[in-house]
Chain A
């Protein structure tokens, strides 16, 4: 029963890690895209001010 519990828990930890990786990658990409969009907006506003 011990080796069975170890095998089960090993697989549970493996899918937890896989899930964590997907969620973290998704959050990091979200943050990066938001930062890029902010930078683009900032650049456009600065250009408008210079033109005005």
Chain B
């Protein structure tokens, strides 16, 4: 088993354990504070998925900059892996947020909330980069175009991060890293930590596997073109 695949399996097992603990072990929240206390358990999936998406978008930014400024093949592979991982984690965070929003707010989306819409835009950007790149022949112009989107689109990451600190409209504010004790107790924090570690391991494993996959595709393409040229 390859290094990336081993991390994938480990991360997946951690995510499965987080799911079980979130449903069966994590304490329930106050029925007075929430419309739908049971739905709050999706928080143990939603927050780690969003965290993993930020890691993936960070990789997309670094890979895009690396391709544009160094013309590095390794950086291009990081761009590809970051965009695919960002898309998957972004969709998971958006989907889990919609499920919770429907149960808690009575609507899956709020077009006036900055956090929701900036994160939605980030996910749309990842969809555009992944689908657009796959529909175009590989070449310097294609890579430059999508690397520019990856580079400038990253501005949405810090905006999304600070959105609930500056404009608290509908999305709940931060529960950790707030300077005070926060609103989650020890057991909740433990499940959330397990989720965050598992998603991090999973997404790093995915990016390693994806970078290897891109390298294999490039090698196959060059071998086939050499054979065609030699024939």
Knowing A4-B39, A26-B216, A36-B223 touch, does A16 contact B95 (C-beta < 8 A)? no
Asked whether A26 lies within 8 Å of B95 as measured between CB atoms, the reply is no
Residues of A within 8 A of B (CB): 1, 3-5, 7-9, 11-12, 14-16, 18-19, 22-23, 25-26, 29-30, 32-33, 36-37, 40
Asked whether A8 lies within 8 Å of B210 as measured between CB atoms, the reply is no
- The A-B contact count (CB < 8 A) is 72
Does B162 have its Cβ within 8 Å of any Cβ on chain A?
A: no
Instruction: Determine the chain B residues whose CB is within 8 A of the CB of A18 once the complex forms.
Output: 88
Instruction: Determine the chain A residues whose CB is within 8 A of the CB of B12 once the complex forms.
Output: 15-16, 19
Asked whether A12 lies within 8 Å of B42 as measured between CB atoms, the reply is no
Please name the residue on chain A nearest to B20 by beta carbon. A8
Asked whether B96 lies within 8 Å of A33 as measured between CB atoms, the reply is no
Instruction: Determine the chain A residues whose CB is within 8 A of the CB of B41 once the complex forms.
Output: 4
22 contacting pairs across A/B (C-beta < 8 A): A3-B99, A5-B23, A8-B22, A8-B45, A11-B45, A12-B15, A15-B15, A16-B12, A19-B8, A22-B8, A22-B206, A22-B209, A23-B8, A26-B5, A26-B212, A26-B216, A29-B213, A29-B217, A29-B220, A33-B223, A36-B224, A40-B227
CB distance from B84 to the nearest CB of A (A): 9
Asked whether A7 lies within 8 Å of B15 as measured between CB atoms, the reply is no
Please name the residue on chain A nearest to B16 by beta carbon. A12
Given pairs A4-B41, A11-B45, 6 additional interface contacts (CB within 8 A): A4-B23, A8-B45, A19-B206, A36-B220, A36-B223, A36-B224
* Cross-interface CB contact of B42 among A8, A22, A30, A37, cutoff 8 Å: A8
CB distance from A1 to the nearest CB of B (A): 5
Knowing A22-B209, A22-B210, A26-B212 touch, does A11 contact B217 (C-beta < 8 A)? no
Instruction: Determine the chain B residues whose CB is within 8 A of the CB of A23 once the complex forms.
Output: 5, 8, 209
